[in-house]
Structure 1
Amino acid sequence: MSSLVWRLRRLRAMGLVEILHRTRRALLNRLPPPPYLRWTPEEAYSHLIDENTEQLIAEWPFHLHCSSLDEIERAHVLEDAEALVRGEWVLFGRKVALDSPPRWNANPMTGNTWPDAPSKKIDYHDTKLAGDPKFTWELGRLTWLPTLAIAYEVTQDDKFKERLNLLLSDFLDRNPVGWGIHHTSGIEMGVRNLTISLAISACPSAFSEPNFKRSVGFMAQQALWLRSNLSLGSSANNHLLAEASGMAVAALCAPNSRRLTPLRNLGLRLLRAELLKQVNADGGPAEQSFEYLPFILELFLIPFAMERAAGRGNTAPSAERLHRSLEFLRAVLLPDGGLPKVGDQDDARVALPMEAFSRARLVANALAAFLGQPAVSSADTALARLMFGETPHPKPPQDLHREFEAAGYTLWRRDPWMLLLDHGDLGYLSLAAHGHADALSICLYHGSTPVIADPGMAHYHDDLESRDRLRSTPAHATVSFDGRSQSEMLGPFLWGRRANICRQSQGFECAWYTGEIHWRSVVVESNLIRIEDKTSRPGGRIHFPLGPSCSVEFHEDCALVSWPGGSLEIRGKRIGEWILHDSLFAPRFSHTLPTKSLSADMNGLEATIEIRLAEAPC
């Protein structure tokens, strides 16, 4: 797709207010930069922070309880910190070597580098420059910074302090606000303010005095940039949350600095308003992406916890919606701490980024501690202990049958099975950036094993063909026509005309943007799942993508699907022969596994599928 075509399509997704906002930003970018972009971080501290360093440390509003980590949690933190001292780091599950000092503008996966140029002149969509920018941005989010600060706090070993200050000083030298790839997107700056603030909250003495001042000044500079460059209109999704959070936290950390007070007020006001938009009334994610939910909850939790510690604000309305999101997570959480692979996933994380922890359980347990609610599990309590000094007793998921009407999911749980029916919207706002064309699809888990699987997402910018394939309708356990998708793909994070989903009779109806209609009903009775499909025209094909540990045998009219520890039989009425295809499953961002997908043509306008569950292979 040419750049011009993409820009025209993107323009169509904007309203007038957003177009005016972006036009104003473009005009301002042609003017000389504002004073704060010409300052060094030290100068920014002098201009923007009213307290000296001793006062600021004494007034710091939030302190992490590093000594509350248990022995195993502390060992995980120290393991990662030791690796950082050796120049090793983990990027989306892969070990990478960090140069000393790191090449901050390099893609660790390819070695290619982004231009050393003003941020506004770098088009991060152009993967020909250095590949997917996510691989470069991740190191620049500084999620490793609190790890080193916690390690120094609990051991007082100078090697952690020395490594922290060496890496931080070099990053600040080479990446001033407005320069380079790390300042091309507001979400990166917002997350970076959170990680810097958490590191200081863990151990202010881990920072040399110059680096402490530079860090606080740098946070204030980023907050000012964020205020002028908010993701509004069609882009007001999790990016806006990170920007608002980054503004709020920078100001909360300097509570008596008058120049930052408006940023605190704006950031917190935006967070409270967006919480009611981006988390549905039943707690489900408006972006239709399960794995983004723990990330956005971190974006709410950190500033709200800081605000409470500072004795400011009333979080009662926010607490109610956060409580519902906690209960949504409790309902859909898998036994291993994972989540169904609904929608996009990009391994986004802020605090305690160690691979040893389940992100969903880690954040959910911390949120439970903040709200005074039961934890979702006795495992992965480190963030709750770190932020609040304790973890509440757990209340594990219960067997249930529940419809999350606002989010658009119906859930059946009966240990060890979990079945999910997706009848929600495509995604959030006009872009629906992280949604998939998966209406009326199911996914089925046996314990934590995906059996009938949502394929997940492995790519954002670097493999657009694979991205389109994994978010298409035929990649999901629903009905397709002619291999097409229910909604119109216009770009990797842009949808055009959408399918419309509504309740109809005893099921749900999906009206495709091209005019076809698919109706589905799902009924669960003991160990039998019965699916009724009806279509408005012939040519429907039923799909069942399988998890990577599944194998298939065909017996007369039955497809026997088995995996270590379980099996099921799939039988169909008024369908053609079952066909087994090669397919892909993405267990996490940037990773894919080969798997299989079952499909069969509908013979006419109606079909019935019966899935009979077994506890062990037949």
Structure 2
Amino acid sequence: MRGDVTWRALALEAWRRSMRCALLRLERMELARRRDQGARLTAEFARLSDAALLDRFRSRRAPIFLPGFASAPRVTLARFPRETEKLIATARKIADEHRWPLLGFGDVQFGHQVDWLRCPVSGTGWPLAFHADLKIVRGDGSDIRVLWELNRLGHLLTLAQAWSIAQDERWSEECWRQIESWRAQNPIGYGPNWTCAMEVALRAVNLLAIFELLRRSSNMTAERLKMMLALFDEHGAHIRRNLEFSYLVTSNHYLSNIVGLLWLGVMLPELRAAREWRAFALRELRSEMDKQILDDGADDESSTGYHRFVLEMLLYTFMLCRANRIEIGERYWEKLRAMLAYVRAYLRPDGRAPLIGDTDGGRFLPFAEREADDHAYLLAVGAALFDASEFKLSNDVPPELLWTGGEEALDRFLALPTSAQLTSVAFPRAGVYIQRADDAYLLFNATSTGLHGRGSHAHNDALGIELSACGRPFLRDPGTFVYSADLHARHLFRSTAFHSTVEIDGEEQNRTCERAPFVIGDDARPRIIRWETGPDRDLVIAEHYGYHRLSSSVTHRRAVLFDKRSRFWLIEDALLGEGHHRAKFIFHFDSGLVVESLDAGLVEACDHRAGAALLVAALGSNGALTIEDRWTSRHYGERRASQAAVWSVDSALPLVVSWALVPVCAERERGTAQGLIARLRADRFSVLMSER
């Protein structure tokens, strides 16, 4: 009953699940009959000889995959030699050494024959059992997310891109051999690579891109064409049978399902089921955008990482539809534009994204390798698509722009002026409030659990902050690290203790369980009390109710005042309630900083290489200070040591404590910063009291 669930939705969901059980029994029987059946073609194409069918696919000009596929190979080679050289070098590693990058684990060696059923990091294997019988979270150190990333076949898209530029048939042959190997090891409906329809859909779209690039290669034979058509038909049929729909909530999984069906339906009209897939997917795409994309442009999962994934998926899908003259509706184009505006707003001054909530590095059509906090490339694609200069950060051209939009989009992008400097902005539906002035940036997080309280990718970060100044982040969200490979680490990275907020009595803001890595309660429900922004200052005040379930309930109210003239932040935390409680006030620093306690009430986090620092000063007697070890992850599977400053207070409530956060961009500013802190301590100014 987590979240906003009606009795009607529960009844419908119970009915759906009972029907699902019956359909799975039918699927078991059908798979035994359908194995190696071949593609189900329309009558027109089923009559063609193998040679005629091959000729059709080699020469067809419609449907159009993406406009950039026609010109990107030529443009990349002629105008971007450095990027081409990097792509070719990666392709050589894939083909000659069977080695390529995987998420945040760096280059991974896969051996002479890729084992598609074995996790390349943990080494654990998976059985070829019926897909619905497999347990995903096993607690044995395995991580299905890593195995799925391998089986999305994104590395073969890289190889196919390189072939389209250099025309080295050894690379096209390597692609075909790996696809044949994959199909031999993964009979439809059996094994871990069929357990999740989202993974099937993402793999199908990558295969469509690979097929589009390689369909004119000399190594594509009539037999390989028949194999690919059968593979596409199997993928589409499996998605349609195993849609990740629920009457309780739908998420990026179901959206991926319908997008995969749409791409298959548009790009393969030769398949008998294509028309139904396309019609169904177009209808559901609009419906899901209405449900999952908030009015202010944010994806409703309280995660910037999943916002990137969903935006990438929708951005390229809209481009596919436009290229093939498929109407979606102006309202949905406006929603897409709002999603881009949200990215533009939340990017830090260094061009990277704050990693609110879960971030697993997921991509849709990975045309280039990207870390999880790299979101800016989508703005370049959006700038060209909408002819919108507000999305252009610089003249740097990401490969995604070329492969999706082609030479025309490139010229349109380069003709645009770069966007003006950003100002402070609020996204009330998302629960994100951003304070800015020049290179000073603070993100205030009042996000909910997401998906009407039934989200699975939120963290315990209510009223948390990210802070950046002097060209680098100082306070930052820890990221995600891993999912099921290390359940304890998963629990820590989404815990209250790993975020720059307040922990009370050792409890989580929202209830979580280490053994349930994708379940989070809906206790906090943050509420904004006040938001104002002006030329001299910004102010946000909010509270959450995650600690109301304690024996004597506590409300955490936080105010963040940004003084733009003097370049400092004043934070005030009020713990409202009764009884005696132990509170921890946490400031989670970025990795690469030297964090020192200068005295019991002052902490310095210093980047000695850049000569910049952040001073965090308690403006009163705020308890005992400790510097504690933490971790920060910027990409799935990768983590770096970091630290947090923690003030611990045992006190009766109500309690009000305050802090000054002062960036120091050069050594000569240190005296001014310390003088400012001294004045603030003497003034005993109270943000919350002054606002009453």
Same fold (TM over 0.5): yes
The separation in 2 between residues aligned to 1:48 and 1:518, in whole angstroms, is 66
Aligned to 1:525: 563
TM-fit CA distance, 1:534:
0.7
- Counterpart of 2:494? 471
1:575 pairs with 2:622: yes
Residue 175 of structure 2 corresponds to residue 164 of structure 1: yes
Tell me the secondary structure at the aligned position of residue 484 of structure 2: coil
2:487 and 2:632 mapped to 1: Cα distance? Answer: 16
- CA spacing shift, 1:414–1:250, aligned 2, 3 Å: same
Aligned amino acid, residue 613 of structure 2: S
Deviation at residue 583 of structure 1 after TM alignment:
1.1
Offset from partner CA, 1:112-153 (integer Å, 9 cap, x none): 21112322222122243x701112111110112221221111
SS of 2:561 mapped into structure 1: strand
Tell me what 2:26 maps to: 31
> CA 1:567 to 1:349, structure 2 compared with 1: closer, same or farther past 3 Å?
same
Q: Distance in 2 between matches of 1:439 and 1:397?
A: 31
CA contact (8 A) 2:40 2:230 kept: yes
**In 1, are the aligned partners of 2:42 and 2:271 still within 8 Å (CA)?**
no
8 A Cα contact 1:271 1:300, kept in partner: no
Give unpaired runs (5+ residues) of structure 1.
Answer: 1-5
Aligned 8 A contact 1:361 1:380 in 2: no
The AA in structure 1 aligned to 2:506 is: G
Aligned counterpart in structure 1 of residue 190 of structure 2, from 175, 179, 186: 179
Cα deviation code 1:444-481 (max 9, x no counterpart): 12366331121111111111111111111121111110
Deviates most, 518-527 or 353-362: 353-362
Alignment counterpart, residue 160 of structure 2, candidates 145, 149, 152: 149
Give the structure 2 partner of residue 328 of structure 1. Answer: 342
* Distance change >3 Å, CA 30–CA 469, structure 1 → 2: same
Aligned to 1:73: 83
Q: Does the aligned pair in 1 maintain the 2:349–2:441 contact within 8 Å?
A: no
Distance 1:368 1:18 in 2: 41
**Aligned counterpart, 1:16:** 11
Q: Secondary structure at the match of 1:531?
A: strand
- In structure 2, how many angstroms separate the alpha carbons of the residues matched to 1:89 and 1:13? 49
Which consecutive residues of structure 2, in runs of 5 or more, have no partner in the other structure?
47-52, 531-539, 671-692
Cα deviation, 1:163-206, whole Å, max 9, x if unaligned, reads: 11111111122212202111011111010111011223334224
Amino acid of the structure 1 residue aligned with 2:592: S
- Specify the code of the residue in structure 2 equivalent to 1:601: S
Does the CA contact (< 8 Å) of 2:367 and 2:400 recur in 1? no
Identify if the C-alpha distance between structure 1 residues 591 and 558 changes in structure 2 by more than 3 Å, giving closer, same or farther.
Answer: same
* Pairing 1:610–2:644 present: no
Classify 1:170/1:342 alpha carbon distance in 2 versus 1 (closer, same or farther; 3 Å). Answer: same
Secondary structure of the residue aligned to 1:30 is helix
Report the Cα distance in structure 1 between the residues aligned to 2:93 and 2:419, rounded to whole angstroms: 34
Q: Which of 398, 401, 425 matches 1:402? A: 425
CA 1:497–1:381: 2 relative to 1, 3 Å? closer
1:66-123 CA-to-partner distances (Å, cap 9, x unmatched) read 3232223322322221111021111123211122320000110122211123222221
| Residues 216 and 34 (structure 1), Cα distance of their counterparts in 2 relative to 1, 3 Å cut | farther
SS at match of 2:507: coil
Which residue number corresponds to residue 586 of structure 1? 633
Deviations 1:259-293 (A, max 9, x none): 22111111122222222332222122211111222
Structure 2 residue corresponding to 1:373, chosen from 388, 398, 403? 388
Q: Give CA deviations for 1:510-529 in whole Å, capped at 9, x if unaligned.
A: 01152421011111002110
How many residue pairs are counted as aligned between the two chains?
609
Quick one: structure 1 residues 111 and 394, their matched pair in 2 at CA, closer, same or farther if it must change by over 3 Å?
A: farther
Query: Aligned residue for 1:55?
Result: 56
Partners of 1:91 and 1:419 in 2: CA distance: 32
CA distance in 2, matches of 1:209, 1:334: 51
**More off after superposition, 579-588 vs 302-311:** 302-311
In structure 2, give the amino acid aligned to 1:442: I
| Coordinate RMSD, CA, aligned | 2.6
Assess, with a 3 A threshold, how the Cα gap between structure 1 residues 435 and 448 changes in structure 2: closer, same or farther.
farther
Deviant stretches of 4+, over 6 Å? none
Q: Distance in 2 between matches of 1:39 and 1:582?
A: 55
Counterpart in the other structure of 1:423: 446
Paired position in structure 1 for 2:114:
102
Which of the residues 369, 386, 389 maps onto 2:403?
A: 386
User: How much does 1:568 deviate?
Assistant: 2.0
Deviations 1:350-409, CA, capped at 9 Å, x for gaps: 323543677412333223333332334433521111111133136346231111111111
Give distance in 2, aligned partners of 1:610 and 1:113. 52
Task: Please tell me whether residue 546 in structure 1 is matched to residue 589 in structure 2.
Answer: yes
Q: One-letter code of the match for 1:153? A: S
Greater radius of gyration (CA)? 2
Q: Distance in 2 between matches of 1:176 and 1:545?
A: 47
Supply the distance in 1 between the matched residues of 2:212 and 2:109 (Cα, whole angstroms). 28
Give the Cα–Cα distance (whole angstroms) in 2 for the partners of residues 212 and 396 of structure 1: 46
Q: Distance in 1 between matches of 2:585 and 2:123?
A: 43
Distance in 1 of aligned mates of 2:352 and 2:222: 41
| Percent identity over paired residues | 24
TM-score using structure 2 length? 0.83
Match of 1:536 in 2: 576
Q: 2:510, 2:522 within 8 Å by CA — same for their partners in 1?
A: yes
User: SS of the counterpart of 1:610?
Assistant: strand
Q: Report the CA distance shift for 1:18/1:367 in structure 2 as closer, same or farther (over 3 A).
A: farther
Residue 3 (structure 1) aligns with:
none
Q: Provide closer, same or farther for how the CA distance between residues 616 and 212 of structure 1 changes in structure 2, counting only shifts above 3 A.
A: farther
1:26–1:48 distance in 2 versus 1, CA, 3 Å: farther
